[in-house]
Homo-oligomer: A and B are copies of this chain.
Amino acid sequence: MNIRFYNARIMTMKDGVDVFEGELWVKGNRIDYVGESKSSNVIWDKEIDCEKNLLMPGFKDVHTHSGMTAFRSLADDLNLQDWLNNMIFPREAVMSGEDIYWLTKLAILEYLTTGVTLIADMYLTPETILDSCADMGMRCEIVSGLNKFGPTLQVLEDRYNNLNGKNPLVGFKMGVHAEYTCDRELLEEVSKLIHKYEAPLYVHMSETTTEVEGCKERYGISPVALFEELGLWDFGGSIYHGVWCDDADMEILKKRNISVITNPGSNTKLASGIAPIAKYLDKGILVGLGTDGPSSNNCLDMFREMFLVTGLAKLKDMDPKAVGADEVLKMACVNGAISLDHEDCSDLSEGKLADVIMIDLKQPNMQPILNIPKNIVYSGSKSNVKMTMIDGKILYMNGEFIDTDVDLIYEKCAQITEKLKDI
């Protein structure tokens, strides 16, 4: 499809958050032109009058567990360890691949409503996550959540080889669940594997004080330092959460080009703590944004995360200037893509993948229009997402999901939830 968006405000985010008026052309799955209004002799499949609303790159939710939609509002007001050990693990033990296929679809509906065009999804059955994303048109990097309970290293390696390249929308990254769910031998084997493929590594790390203290008891050093010792950072990657990194940890992260994916909604609701975002930025560490899963957050709403990342940074440092709106938008749109080696969808430059959202500026929370980036971060809401396009396809527009049987997804997920809730 060739689609022309005209009469738009546009924030490409190629070099900052400037906004201009003009148009954007999509040919196939790529951005073909972005700039001032101009004439063309292209035969368009669709021409969309943006009515001065804003086109911008989609948000990148680069840490989530989509299939946990089954557990929304089932296991709240618990600390991380109780929540995980008593409520989540026993139920995950009986989930099927097909369950996760449908539960992931429910999550994808929610991503579309909040303008998310790329996710990094760590969950149990990569094969059915891939099918779910492919069927829904969602761009996704699946991240292995390997730990001592499964799967085997061989399965991880096979998935890495087989799932990458299977569908152009979906990739597969090497990851481990966390230090505290792996033993040293397993981590050493993972290190060999990432060296074999020169692959970056993704992992939950420094989420709670319990976790960091536990690692220090086991190994005498922090989780970040342990992974450094084991060579696990040799090809980059990300840590998820990063609430409790100290200065020495930050030096390692910086040196090894490891990004921090912050999850303020989850860290707040589980009372894990406030991540030192201003400090990460000062040190030049790349920070991306994630919602975490819908059982710990409980929603998949990038507007909530964006307000929280700036708001909590301000509270942590008691400094209202900490981590401003422009920086937060960069985290949410650009940095997340970079953290996954996905610069091909980080902004609205010509030639990049057409992952574009339209923000409705004609809702009261977006008026008056004095500063659009600040409006988005400080007063924005998912209700402002008027359109979500991924890979050149409009998947969500004006509150409607295009070519999707929403009721069927709700019904399937209700059945699965019914089966799981009383375990």
Q: Is the CB of B370 within 8 A of A315?
A: no
State whether the Cβ of A156 lies closer than 8 Å to any Cβ in chain B. Answer: no
B417 pairs with A73, CB closer than 8 A:
no
Q: Distance in Å from the Cβ of A407 to the closest Cβ of chain B?
A: 8
A317 within 8 A of B: yes
A268 (CB) vs chain B CBs: closest residue: B311
Tell me, in angstroms, the Cα distance from A320 to B325 when the chains sit together: 28
**Given A299-B381, A362-B410, A367-B413, list of 5 further CB < 8 A pairs?**
A78-B321, A109-B364, A271-B315, A362-B406, A368-B413
Q: How many copies does the complex hold?
A: 2
| CB <8 Å contact, B410 and A379 | no
Instruction: Mark A residues whose CB is within 8 Å of B.
Output: 69-70, 72-74, 76-79, 83, 106-107, 109-110, 113, 265, 267-271, 273-274, 294, 297-301, 304, 307-308, 310-312, 314-315, 317-322, 324-325, 362-365, 367-371, 374-375, 378-383, 399, 406, 410, 413-414, 417, 421
Q: Are B73 and A374 touching (Cβ within 8 A)? A: yes
* Chain B positions within 8 Å of A70 at CB level: 368
Neighbour of A304 across the interface among B271, B300, B307, B399, CB < 8 A: B307
The residues of B that contact A399 with a CB separation of less than 8 Å are 399
Give the CA-CA distance A298 to B371 in the complex, in Å.
12
Contact partner, A367, options B271, B310, B319, B410, Cβ 8 Å: B410
Assuming the contacts A73-B370, A318-B273, asked whether A378 and B268 have C-beta atoms less than 8 A apart, the reply is no
Query: A156 to nearest B CB, angstroms?
Result: 30
